[in-house]
Structure 1
Amino acid sequence: MSAAPEILLLALLLDAALGEPAWLWSRLPHPAVLMGRAIGWADRRFNRGGQRRLRGALALAGLTSVAIALGWAIQALLPGRLADIVLVAILLAQRSLVEHVAAVAAGLRQSLEAGRRAVSMIVGRDTDGMDEPAVARAAIESAAENLSDGVVAPAVWFLVGGLPGVLAYKLVNTADSMIGHRTPRHEAFGWAAARLDDVMNWIPARLTGALILLSHGEPRGWAAVAREARQHRSPNAGWPEAAMARCLDTALSGPRSYDGAQRDFPYIHPTGDRFPDARSVDRAVTALWRSWVGLALATGLILLLS
């Protein structure tokens, strides 16, 4: 584990430079795609009959065990740092997140419909009836939440558990995104995925909030972020969103529609700008890079102290 900070730092740099090249992933299935296929198979195979909560927990335990075993096997069969650097870079999502969020700003500058199409690629809410502020707000919220889920959390779990740790995290996070919803089909079967994802993201989400604040020179905003994060519907997403809202001085969360049903969530940082636009999304992209620099510097500090 002594080499983990060095591997992570190089993986962060590699991901930031290359992202997810289309020429590669158009020919090979991305690890996240393979995880999604495995979770989909488990959903079709085991999400039936009685005791669905138990069935879901056992399925998740089995798939997570496979991910951990695969991590150990890769480290045994491909010793050395290069393989780990490449694999960890693949499991990070900084560059792809930036590109998806920036695409929303570019879309809004073209037309509202183009902005809606771009934001529909990164959010699960209804986008057809969104106005420009709603599109921009959704993009900024996705930037904050996915900075935690797609960059900081994988980094933390690699430092904690090496390649097996980050693969286990990605499996659980993918499962939560697919089956961890309170729907008639998945409320019981996906219960374990949703709860374990909450646990595994508890520390990374708060670290992400702190990282956003520190990278913007706003450490004194922590008390306000902590207060507003607790009002969020998610035990974790509120922390990076509240920090992003404060640093951009933009009101986030608020009313939105899911599957045709309007949900009246409270605003986070309600005194901030309630009419964000493409320029606001541009500032969120800048915030992502500033936070990434902070994460890279923190990793370098860990390396120096290890």
Structure 2
Amino acid sequence: MNANSGAARAAGLLAGYALDVALGDPQRHHPVALFGTAARRLEQRVHADSRAVGAGYTAALVGGTFLGTAAVQLATQRAVGALAPSGPRRGPERGPRRGRPAAEFLTVATATFVALGGTSLVREGDEMARLLESGDVPGARRRLSHLCARDATDLTPDDLARATVESLAENTSDAVVAPLVWGAVLGAPGLLGYRAANTLDAMVGYRSERYRSFGWASARLDDLLNLLPARLAALLVFVVTGRREALSVWRRDARLHPSPNAGPVEAATAGALGVRLGGTNTYDGEAEARGVLGDGRPVEVRDVARANRLSRQVSAAAVLVAAGTALAIGRRGRE
């Protein structure tokens, strides 16, 4: 990738992020939802209590998404190059290569808009804040399923607030920071390939009897792809808030969380907001004891709005970091 393509990739990331902020996820026919439908149908056909079969399933869907996006980008590059003026050019930008920066911008902007879920995430956070602040606890219990799979039947308002804050922290990393990181490094294929892997983890990456073996590869791939983004998200929590507690709680408590990637960002969020996260949660009727992150006060309803603001700030910082990374990669390629 040369400097022009790097600049085009950076511009595409910024444009796609702006589209997500302005429009959010489409209510119907979202490409990720269509991918999920196709993945579910394939699972029903090939499912077996086997890691090998699950690995093949994951490789086919994630690899197919990555390679398919790369093919679309190449076709776009050739189409744009064919439309470009045919006058003499200096340097290597001849033939289809003329279309590379324009194709990079178009495909990255589109893929960024498709892959990001930040605006839909904070809208759910806003709705949870509204329900809790108005005292509509039954409505908040029903709404929590839009954010996580936690059993909300007996949760109090403060329990619901804690669940919301934890989900906002983890999903800001998964749905915003991580796709931007992979978009900066690998362009549109990285964006959509990551989103495919993350979607499969949400679908089959559970330790249930059905998915313990079949979903193993999807869960491990998602863990691997989020190792760097989750730590960048935790660092950005510190950067945008300036709270040293974000770093100290991250270093001390992240290991207590059962997830290697949710731990850092939730611990940093706990430190930044001055609250305690973690504890015992119930999923599918089974209680799961998690470590306590932070040593502040318990989460209250008013903290949902604070966590939502933090999510927006981290997302804005992440797209600037991603755009800068894309520019740096482009300059490096030129050298």
TM-score above 0.5:
yes
What CA distance in whole angstroms lies between the structure 1 residues aligned with 2:26 and 2:30?
11
User: Where in structure 2 are there 5+ consecutive unaligned residues?
Assistant: 78-102
Match of 1:287 among 278, 285, 310: 310
Please tell me the root mean square deviation across aligned C-alpha atoms, in Å.
Answer: 1.7
Q: Deviations over 1:228-282 (max 9, x none)?
A: 111101011011111111111111111111112222222111x2221411x1100
- Distance, in Å, in 2 between the alignment partners of 1:264 and 1:224 is 19
**Offset, 1:304:** 6.1
CA contact (8 A) 2:117 2:175 kept: yes
Quote the residue 2:100 is aligned against: none
- The alignment partner of 2:287 has SS state of strand
Counterpart of 2:129 in structure 1 is 105
2:229 aligned with 1:204: yes
In the TM superposition, what whole-angstrom CA distance separates every residue of 1:68-117 from its partner, at most 9, and x where no partner exists?
12111221233322343123112111111110111100111231111112
1:148 aligns to 2:148 (yes or no) = no
Aligned length: 297
**Counterpart among 219, 225, 250 of residue 194 in structure 1:** 219
Partner of 2:119: 95
TM-score (normalised: structure 2): 0.84
Separation in structure 2 between the aligned mates of residue 150 and residue 159 of structure 1, nearest angstrom: 15
Which residue of 293, 300, 307 corresponds with 1:268?
293
Using CA pairs under 8 Å that are at least 6 residues apart, name the structure with larger relative contact order, 1 or 2: 2
- Give, in whole Å, the separation in 2 of the partners of 1:188 and 1:9: 39
Sequence identity (%): 36
Q: 1:281 to 1:220 in 2, by over 3 A?
A: closer
The residue aligned with 1:160 is 185
SS in 1 for 2:297: coil
In 2, are the aligned partners of 1:127 and 1:135 still within 8 Å (CA)?
yes
User: What SS does the aligned partner of 1:184 have?
Assistant: coil
Who wins on radius of gyration, i.e. which is larger? Answer: 2
Aligned-pair distance for 1:17? 1.6
Mapped to 2, the partners of 1:179 and 1:141 lie a distance apart of 21
SS in 2 for 1:251: strand
- Gapped regions of structure 1 (runs ≥ 5): none
SS at match of 1:257: strand
**1:14 partnered with 2:19:** yes
- TM-score computed with the length of structure 1 as normaliser: 0.92
CA separation of 1:263 and 1:242: change in aligned 2, threshold 3 A: same
Q: CA deviation at 1:300?
A: 4.8
Q: Which runs of 4+ in 1 moved over 6 A?
A: none
